[in-house]
Amino acid sequence: MAGYRDAAVLAVELISSGNCVEPAAAWGQATSKVFPSSASLRDKGCPKGAFLGLCNEGLVVGVESRNDAKSSKNGEYAIDAVKVLRKNKFLASQPDLLWKKVAGNAKTQNHQMDVVIALWEA
């Protein structure tokens, strides 16, 4: 969904501009703007966890690492996806294949790769 891609990029812009210091608050503001009429889309945990995991690990340009924060499983998927992308940039155009490389076939992607790919391309 392009919405979570847009939210990820907007959240980084909010942090980089100094309008928001905390990644979680930036994510909340960004999703409120991207999904103004849908609380369920704003509150979806998987893309948020992916975004926060990347931020915590210091993998987002302009966002200071916060290694003191524990990553969620979704954050770990996102971090692993960046490792995979570093070896094979082509997978940025193949989110389903990227997901399979990270999580296997047992789980279904829930917009985590949208966040990763949006920030990778930005």
Q: Where do we find the tokens 């940039």?
A: 89
Tokens representing 81 are: 């996806």
Higher pLDDT, 3 or 65: 3
pLDDT tens for 6-60 read 999 999 999 999 988 899 999 999 999 999 999 999 999 999 999 999 999 999 9
Percent of the chain scoring above 70 in pLDDT? 96
**Cα–Cα distance measured from residue 100 to residue 102, given in angstroms and rounded to the nearest whole number:** 5
| pLDDT classification of 80: cutoffs 50, 70, 90 | very high
Q: How many CA atoms lie within 13 A of 102 on its CB side?
A: 31
